[in-house]
A and B are shown apart, each in its own frame.
Chain A
Amino acid sequence: MAAADKVDPIHQFQIHPIIPLHIGGYDVSFTNSALFMVVTVLVASAFLYMSTASRALIPGRLQSVSEMAYEFVGNMLRDAAGKQGMQFFPLVFSLFMFVLVANLIGLFPYFFTVTSHIIVTFTLAALVIGTVLVYGFAKHGLGFLKLFVPHGVPGYLLPLVVAIEIISFVSRPVSLSVRLFANMLAGHITLKVFSGFVVSLSAFGAVGIAGSVLPLAMAVALTALELLVAFLQAYVFAVLTCMYLNDALHPSH
């Protein structure tokens, strides 16, 4: 059964409780998923905290990495949402760092990928859209609804355009969460399948071992690709967050 688990590409997404916990009829056990959320947060916090501990005027390598991430997200938010948007800098920076570190940690063998679960990415997306809605209505009142009414649209087209705008707005949290979730899920399944080929082929003796070089090379290449995807998806998540926040700041387009 242990050998079978290694070839099973879905096994890595299984959630099992470490410390069982039930509150009000809900199962809120501390699971392997929760463990890796804690690990993600601890690794990201420790890295950011310790790399900047010396507050060096001339940064070392690690401090440069922290500063680059900080300025990268800062510039992204400033470009998308302007100076006013900088009040959301902590939110966007934490989202970027959390998603990035969770994706990167997931690349280690036997590690759980927090962002490969739709509920996690959907909760993060709901946080973004919730922030946009709460801030938008608090800042502009009902004027925030102008977001759904573009300027310069002829009256007879307006109902159609407004309907499209509302659908596009509602689909945002879905697309935001599904994009990240699907990328991580598909990447890890593919990696597992190719690694599984290596194990299965090796069982056929010398010819199998020689043949397993191909899926092994593929697994190595896919790992590099997944590293890129881990960065890219964290970036995409942060960029889209910035653009949605821009809508909350400037609803009339």
Chain B
Amino acid sequence: MFVTSAYAQETAPAAAEGDTHAGTAVPAAEHETFPPFNAATFPSQILWLVITFGLFYLFLKRVVMPRLGGIIDVRNDRITQDLDHAARLKGEADAAVAAYEQELAEAKANANKIGQQANDAAKAQAEGTRKKLEAELEKKLGEAEASIASIKAKAMKEVGTIAEDTTSAIVEALVGGKSDKSEIAAAVKSASR
């Protein structure tokens, strides 16, 4: 009944501001029970609530919830599976990268070795060629020195003859007449000593 009076207070301004029809509703409502507290409607509401809610409960329990639970379980399984798959693929990719890096390192080492070998071979060859050339040059130098020495000796030997010829020519020009060859030779020899 408290609520009914509260309601009457609330509608009072509305009735005052509104048309006069509202005024007729207020006394009518005061005689009626406030609907939510009208016990006459309780059996009907309880019965129909039990029926409808009972069916709703059974329907959710038997049909909807297994289905929803199934959907979510399937999805979770699928996600777990996909994550596993992804982890496996990642492992494979990591292994492939490691293998690639190892091969790369091996190939680098090989390349270094081959380069080193080529370098050494080239050095050795160059060294051999140089030594051969040096030896040849040495030989040629020796031959040249020998030839120079022989030419020098020959030239030295001829110096005496030229001196004798020059002396005999000078003597013939100065003294006149023929000069004795053996005398001149002796004289030159003694002078060159």
Same complex origin of A and B: yes
Total A-B Cβ pairs within 8 A: 170
List, in ascending order, chain B residues with CB within 8 A of A108's CB. Answer: none
The CA-CA distance from A40 to B59 in the complex, in Å, is 13
What residue of chain A has the Cβ atom nearest to residue B65's Cβ?
A90
Would you call B41 an interface residue if the criterion is a C-beta within 8 Å of the partner chain's C-beta atoms?
yes
Would you call A233 an interface residue if the criterion is a C-beta within 8 Å of the partner chain's C-beta atoms?
no
How far is the CB of B41 from the nearest CB of chain A, in Å? Answer: 5
What residue of chain B has the Cβ atom nearest to residue A93's Cβ?
B60
Would you call A185 an interface residue if the criterion is a C-beta within 8 Å of the partner chain's C-beta atoms?
yes
Q: Mark A40-51, 1 if CB is under 8 A from B, else 0.
A: 110011001100
The answer to whether B68 touches A52 (Cβ under 8 A) is yes
List, in ascending order, chain A residues with CB within 8 A of B37's CB. Answer: 118
Q: How many residues of A contact B (CB 8 A)?
A: 66
Grouping DSSP codes into helix (H, G, I), strand (E, B) and loop, the B interface class, with mixed when no group exceeds half, is: helix
The answer to whether B44 touches A189 (Cβ under 8 A) is no
Which residues of chain A (103-161) have a CB below 8 Å from chain B? Answer: 114, 116-120, 123-124, 127
The CA-CA distance from A88 to B63 in the complex, in Å, is 16
Return the contact of A7 from the options B15, B36, B46 (Cβ within 8 A).
B15
Q: Mark B139-182, 1 if CB is under 8 A from A, else 0.
A: 00000000000000000000000000000000000000000000
Would you call B130 an interface residue if the criterion is a C-beta within 8 Å of the partner chain's C-beta atoms?
no
Known pairs A7-B22, A13-B35, A118-B36; A94 contacts B53 (CB<8 A): yes
The CA-CA distance from A116 to B67 in the complex, in Å, is 32
Which residues of chain B (31-53) have a CB below 8 Å from chain A? Answer: 34-38, 40-50, 52-53
The CA-CA distance from A55 to B55 in the complex, in Å, is 23
The answer to whether A119 touches B42 (Cβ under 8 A) is yes
List, in ascending order, chain A residues with CB within 8 A of B7's CB. Answer: 9-10, 189
Binding site for B on A (CB under 8 A): 1, 3-5, 7-10, 13-15, 17, 21, 26-31, 33-34, 37-38, 40-41, 44-45, 48-49, 52, 55-57, 59, 63, 66-67, 70-71, 89-91, 93-94, 97-98, 114, 116-120, 123-124, 127, 181, 185, 189, 193, 196-197, 199-201, 203-204
12 contacts across the A-B interface (CB closer than 8 A)? A1-B25, A4-B24, A7-B14, A14-B35, A15-B35, A33-B48, A41-B56, A55-B74, A94-B56, A119-B42, A193-B14, A200-B19
